[in-house]
Amino acid sequence: MQNNTGPKISEARYIRNGHREQNEKKRVHKMQRIVSSAVVVFCFAFLVFGGVRVVSSHTSAFQLVVEGEVISTLPTEKEAKAAIVRYLEEQSELLGFEVVCGDSVIIERVSSRDAVYSGVKDAVSALTAGAKVLARAVAVCVNGSPVMYVANEEDARIALEQAKAHYGKIGADGVEDITVLEQVGVISSNVELEQVFGSAEAANMLLFGKPKVEYHFVETTDETFEYIANRYGLKVEDIREANPGADSTNMALGEAILLTKVSPLISVQMKRIVVSLEETSFETEQRDNYDIPRGERRVVEAGVPGEDEVTTEVIERNGVVVAQNRISSVTLVEPVTRVEERGVRMIVASRAYTGNMGNGILGWPYDGQVSSRYGYRSINYHTGIDILGPVGSPVVAAEDGVVVFADWYASYGNLIRIDHGGDLQTWYAHLKGFSVNVGDEVKRGDMIGAIGMTGRTTGAHVHLEVRIDGQHYNPLQFLGQRQGEEADEEESDDLDE
């Protein structure tokens, strides 16, 4: 009896082959699923980062718009913002300071139908090519008004310190303090890139402002660069540099000379302590010597200047001294007084002629005829002499001296008194006007006034008096004889009333 419990050999092989075929089919299907998934993942990654353009099945898309023009479309708002952030980071790193887009770049949400997407990298490139950034800067304000822009607050601080250092440094050359008189601050501001100054450029703006173009037109042929510089408060070197073709010593009338004027935005005030040596003047002591003739002088002891060490507080504003305050003074060398003797011995003049002013100890104030002599007259006592001359003729000093009076004096009219030392004075009355003032030092022959008719008089003349210690003397005792003058001159009519 045959055993029919096990399969036949041919049937078993078939079964085994059937299992093999089923396993092979399962393996192939599995591989197909893996490959399909990998393709999907790769395509998505390339869509986002590689720039592959596909049609989306999302309901919304996000466009980057630059000044009204769409430059890129991304599937999500997050990616659109990421593109902008990456673009700004690259631009900030390139320029060296923080930048912003301002209102020039916006994100618009639109329908995703028929949308063609860019990757983030491509979006950044599109922004670089078409967008415009603004500097996230700070405005430097002087007394509340913006005057320029720098990248940040640190650059503003550096610029201010550089401007102050232009005039000096604390501790050097006696500088104790450097202060900016205006209030300087900063406020945040988004501005065009070309408006942003570096710290060195900003310091120059604070120091000199924006140069103004102005011209000076030559008015006279003797003008020089020095004259123009003084007139406008400029430096000769600056004018010469601005006008390289101009000849300072030979400028034509109407020639235009370019001026470079500066208007500082700030006032830098600097206080310095200066210690210097100062020469002190010596005094002069005058002594009367009755052994030598009046008018002669002798130096008994020469004067020697002294020397002081002076400490001064100097205030400068933008490099110009505006105040000096003496703090202390220490005498290092005492001055030596000059001792001078002057002759006061009076000599009655001889009758020999030596010049228009006479040869006496006193000179004639005017070379005219004596119309009234000293002494008793029919109506009164005449305290001087009257010398005739036309109105306006010059009256000169009879000797060296100091003017002690020049004013109206009762019947004398306009009167000048000159002190010659040794209690000797000369008086000049009835003058038309004065050429000297009280305190003036005059020399013999210097013009002091003009003949007139002021006061009590009946004609034009100068009344001359000589007084010693207040007592009047005959002037002819002190005046020498003039050329052509007779020994005994006839007396004319009295002119003093």
Same domain, 220 and 115: no
Q: Pairing between strand 447-451 and 424-434?
A: antiparallel
Hey, how many other C-beta atoms are within 10 angstroms of the C-beta on 69?
A: 8
Residue 45, both tokens: 């990654």
pLDDT tens, position by position, 439-486: 999 999 999 999 999 999 989 999 999 998 889 999 988 887 676 565
Residue 94, both tokens: 């390139």
| Nearest-angstrom CA–CA distance, 408 and 313 | 47
Same domain, 279 and 161: no
230 and 281 Cβ atoms separated by less than 8 Å: no
91 falls within a domain: yes
Residue 339 Cα distances to 6, 254, 336, 402, angstroms: 163, 58, 9, 19
Same domain, 28 and 95: no
CATH label of the domain that carries residue 387: 2.70.70.10
Residue 287, both tokens: 């002594």
Same domain, 225 and 319: no
Same domain, 379 and 448: yes
484 falls within a domain: no
Same domain, 389 and 335: no
Q: Could you say which of 227, 260, 293 is where a domain stops?
A: 260
Domain count, the chain: 6
pLDDT at 413 over 80: yes
Domain residue limits at 250: 214-260
464 falls within a domain: yes
Same domain, 193 and 233: no
Q: Residues 6 or more apart from 179 whose CB is under 8 A from it?
A: 268, 269, 270, 271
149 and 135 Cβ atoms separated by less than 8 Å: yes
Same domain, 445 and 369: yes
Same domain, 204 and 315: no
Same domain, 379 and 435: yes
pTM here is 0.47
Q: Could you say which of 343, 367, 391 is where a domain stops?
A: 343
423 falls within a domain: yes
Provide the mean pLDDT of the chain.
Answer: 82
Same domain, 255 and 288: no
177 falls within a domain: yes
The pLDDT of residue 99: 86
**Confidence label for 335 from pLDDT (cuts 50, 70 and 90):** very high
pLDDT tens, position by position, 242-275: 888 788 888 888 999 988 777 899 999 999 999 9
Same domain, 299 and 396: no
Q: In this prediction, what percent of the chain has a pLDDT beyond 70?
A: 81
